[in-house]
Amino acid sequence: MMGQLSEDRLLLHQALTSGHTAITAEVTPPRGGDPTRTLAAAACLRGRVHAINVTDGSRAVMRMSSLAMCKLLLDQGFEPVLQLTCRDRNRIALQAELLGAHALGLRNLLCLTGDPVRAGDQPGARPVNELESVRLLQLVESLNQGRDPVKGHLPDGGTAFFAGAAADPQSPSWSGLRSRLRRKQAAGARFIQTQMVTDGDALRRFIDEIAGPLGMPVLAGVFLLKSALNAEFINRVVPGANIPQGLIDRLASAADPAAEGVRIAAEQVTQYVGIAQGVHLMAIKAEERIPRILELAGLSPSRAAGAVEEVGSPCGLLRPTG
């Protein structure tokens, strides 16, 4: 039924738990009240990915709520991943958001601490940060078990979220990364979505030494770079970003930087699906290029998103069958 997802119908859950290659991508909510642009971006991903993430105040910049945008996507027949950050909400607000999301039919969840307010365009805003990602995961697991956060059990029923967490395989603190991921796994995280990865060797080490032994499937983050200036901007403003100079030089010398960025992303996808369970594609305001990235990487729609059939459209859209 449109607007409802059960775990046995979750494409992302099926892919990650069956060992198949999983593909996700993200869209950015609108900076205003009209969701048309974001829905159009999602349309080019239909049938190409297992699920679509909706960012939640990424870079501490105001946009439409992830919850509202996820519900709009769900009503359009997409499988959303609700990103939920702790920066702007206390525990009561987070509890309410989770219960509301579940009632609206959302099941996939990515639990995040959130980028610091100083990184955004309203640095004078007051952050909350009563919880962080580990304690948010603990809260989600408690609600999944039907436990009331005050006392006893939830009188109106528990939740059934498929919760994931973020990690940075290129973190300079390896011991800290290992410790934090163990805590996230113990708190209830069932999969990992990484930050942007530009070092395949670091990704392999992360999976071999940390995520793999914990039994956690990993979606490796691939970020579409549009130009050398774009790459330098990302390095400057995105916390933890570390795009190597070699990639920046390659973009700078390209006759068509946008096309070169697509080729770089496709190369990364090809490399990372041989290391991780799958990939998570980030192509801000250029989601229509994601199908081409997947094609260049040799990921046909049938391999990327299960059984699909083509339907006529300007984007060459595909839709799940069955």
In a domain, 215, yes or no: yes
Tally of CA atoms within 13 A in the half-sphere of 172 that contains its CB: 4
Q: Is residue 1 part of a domain?
A: no
pLDDT band at 308 (very low <50, low <70, confident <90, very high): very low
CB-CB contact of 277 with 218 (8 Å): yes
Over 70: is that where the pLDDT of 303 sits? no
11 within domain boundaries: yes
Please write the tens of the pLDDT for every residue from 130-178.
Answer: 999 999 999 999 999 999 999 999 999 999 999 999 999 999 999 999 9
Instruction: Quickly count: other Cβ atoms within 10 Å of residue 260's Cβ.
Output: 20
Q: What is the pLDDT of residue 4?
A: 54
- pLDDT tens profile 171-212: 999 999 999 999 999 999 999 999 999 999 999 999 999 999
Domain of residue 240, CATH code:
3.20.20.220
Domain-embedded: residue 62 = yes
Q: Residues with Cβ < 8 Å from 257, sequence gap 6 or more?
A: 226, 227, 228, 251
The DSSP bridge partners found for residue 24 are 51, 280
Is pLDDT larger for residue 228 or for residue 241? 228
Number of domains composing the chain: 1
Average confidence (pLDDT) over 236-265:
94
259: containing domain: 7-320
Q: What percentage of the chain has pLDDT greater than the value 70?
A: 90
pLDDT for residue 175: 96
pLDDT > 80? residue 121? yes
Ramachandran angles phi, psi of 235, nearest 5° = -60, -35
In a domain, 249, yes or no: yes
**Per-residue confidence (pLDDT) for residue 314, from 0 to 100:** 43
Question: Residue 223, Cβ neighbours under 10 Å: how many?
Answer: 23
Calpha distance 100→87 (Å, rounded)? 19
Q: What is the pLDDT of residue 313?
A: 40
With respect to residue 2, please indicate whether it lies within any of the assigned structural domains.
no
Mean pLDDT of 57-76: 96
